[in-house]
Amino acid sequence: MKRLSIRSPFDMHLHLRDEDMLKLVAPLSSKTFSAAIIMPNLVPPVDTKEAVISYKNRIKDAIKDDDFEPMMTLFFKPYSKEFLESVKDDIKAIKLYPAGITTNSEGGVSSIDVNELAPTLNAMADLGLPLCVHGETNGFVMDREKEFLSVYETLAKAFPKLKIIMEHITTKDATKLLDRYDNLYATITVQHLLITLDDVAGGMLKPHLFCKPIAKRYEDREALVTLATSAHPKVMFGSDSAPHPKDAKENCGCAAGVFTSPIAIQVLAELFEKHNKLENLEKFISINATNIYNLKRTNKTINLIKKDFVVPQDYRFENEIVVPMYSNETLSWSIDSIIQG
Ligand code: DOR
Ligand code: ZN
């Protein structure tokens, strides 16, 4: 049977939530990944050194003895250089949300004004802290990312020493922007490599595939697949795995987010194999991130085998229930064993 090993997989964009949901989902990432960039959009947002440290401790408690590093982020606000210096060793990046654009982002930035943001962004550039961005306007849902690309350009030009990460890109236009500025990078999710808007809303409405940014057109998906499977050095895997309770998804006001942690590596193996690019998988899921974020790889290794894996219908802990992408469906790669680092 065909086998494949991936050393030190990194998830460069992950939502772990808090309390029982954290206890439910954190082990599903810490089992298979070496480390992950942890999103700060809790309520209230993670925006102090104390909040970063205590959230990291709660994550460590939840993952027990797994060999997994939670790489913490702060929720972007104007911060002083003194504050950033005091917290720089506790975080790997700062995440900027336009106000109200997605889950728990009400405290985000209401307008992206270069002069207003300059003190914080210059300090981040000096300290080598990357800026992760949720790049959407509040325009028409299919155009939100495209409309935001000029903001990325403005930031990239105004702060050439700042590493700017276009999170969860979904459009062909974003893939083209990547090479125009040395300081622009990107993450790509599993779902945006696999689905289009047709899968979300073209037939029966699929709440478990609804996320922000929403999945786009076929040509967008194709451009993303080309970029990821060629392991473009400025692109990293970031699942954006975003669990919500089952009843918040299967609801007339469906929460945005696709839960992919337990299936991500298997699905990526299937996709890269289909495109005859398995040799690039480790770059997309590990090596590129080490270069962009200056990370050290660990020896944790995921051994995959070409054998059916039936995705569990749901995952449960106490009163929490969360439904993964491809619930009850069969994937062609399974995790055979995991060697801790
Ligand atoms: O679909 C999404 N869910 N997109 C985001 O940007 C946030 C995330 C969440 O936190 O639920
Ligand atoms: Zn996210």
Q: Domain spans of the chain?
A: 3-339
Cβ contact 20:318 at 8 Å: yes
pLDDT digits (tens, 9 = 90+) for 271-318: 999 999 999 999 999 999 999 999 999 999 999 999 999 999 999 999
Residues 44, 59, 8: CA angle, nearest 5 degrees: 125
Ligand found nearest the CA of 208: 1
C-beta of 134 in contact with ligand 1 (< 6 A):
yes
Q: Mean pLDDT throughout 24-53?
A: 98
Cβ contact 159:121 at 8 Å: yes
Gap from CA of 238 to ligand 2 centroid (Å):
9
pLDDT digits (tens, 9 = 90+) for 242-254: 999 999 999 999 9
Please report the atom of ligand 1 found closest to the CA of residue 134. Answer: 6
Q: Mean pLDDT throughout 238-245?
A: 98
C-beta of 256 in contact with ligand 1 (< 6 A):
yes
Rounded to 5 degrees, φ, ψ at 26 are -60, -45
Please report the atom of ligand 1 found closest to the CA of residue 97. Answer: 6
d(CA 140, CA 57) in angstroms, rounded, equals 40
C-beta of 17 in contact with ligand 1 (< 6 A):
no
Ligand found nearest the CA of 242: 1
d(CA 329, CA 209) in angstroms, rounded, equals 14
Which amino acid is residue 310, in one-letter code? V
pLDDT at 28: 98
Q: Mean pLDDT throughout 35-57?
A: 98
pLDDT over 90 at 340, yes or no: no
Q: How confident is the model at residue 325 (pLDDT cuts 50, 70, 90)?
A: very high
pLDDT digits (tens, 9 = 90+) for 116-170: 999 999 999 999 999 999 999 999 999 999 999 999 999 999 999 999 999 999 9
Please report the atom of ligand 1 found closest to the CA of residue 167. Answer: 6
Q: Which residue, chain included where needed, has tokens 């839960």?
A: 259
Strand-pairing partners, residue 337, are 303
pLDDT at 47: 97
Ligand found nearest the CA of 240: 2
Does the predicted TM-score (pTM) go above 0.85? Answer: yes
pLDDT over 90 at 202, yes or no: yes
Q: Whose CA is nearest to atom 3 of ligand 1?
A: 257
Q: Which of 11, 66, 220, 240 is catalytic?
A: 240
Cβ contact 5:334 at 8 Å: no
pLDDT at 341: 78
Cβ contact 67:33 at 8 Å: no
pLDDT at 228: 98
How would you label 249-277 residue by residue, b for 16+ Cβ within 10 Å and e otherwise?
beeeeebbbbbbbbbbbbbbbbbbbeeeb
Pocket test for ligand 1, best of 95, 102, 148 (most atoms within 8 A of CB): 102
Q: Whose CA is nearest to atom 4 of ligand 1?
A: 212
C-beta of 257 in contact with ligand 1 (< 6 A):
yes
Cβ contact 314:322 at 8 Å: yes
CATH number of 3-339: 3.20.20.140
Known catalytic membership, residue 240: yes
Gap from CA of 307 to ligand 2 centroid (Å):
30
Q: How confident is the model at residue 214 (pLDDT cuts 50, 70, 90)?
A: very high
Please report the atom of ligand 1 found closest to the CA of residue 104. Answer: 10
Residue 220: Cβ within 10 Å count:
23
C-beta of 102 in contact with ligand 1 (< 6 A):
yes
Q: What percentage of the chain reaches a pLDDT higher than 90?
A: 98
pLDDT over 90 at 67, yes or no: yes
Q: Which helix (H) or strand (E) holds 98?
A: none
pLDDT digits (tens, 9 = 90+) for 74-104: 999 999 999 999 999 999 999 999 999 888 9
Averaged confidence pLDDT in the chain: 97
Gap from CA of 284 to ligand 2 centroid (Å):
18
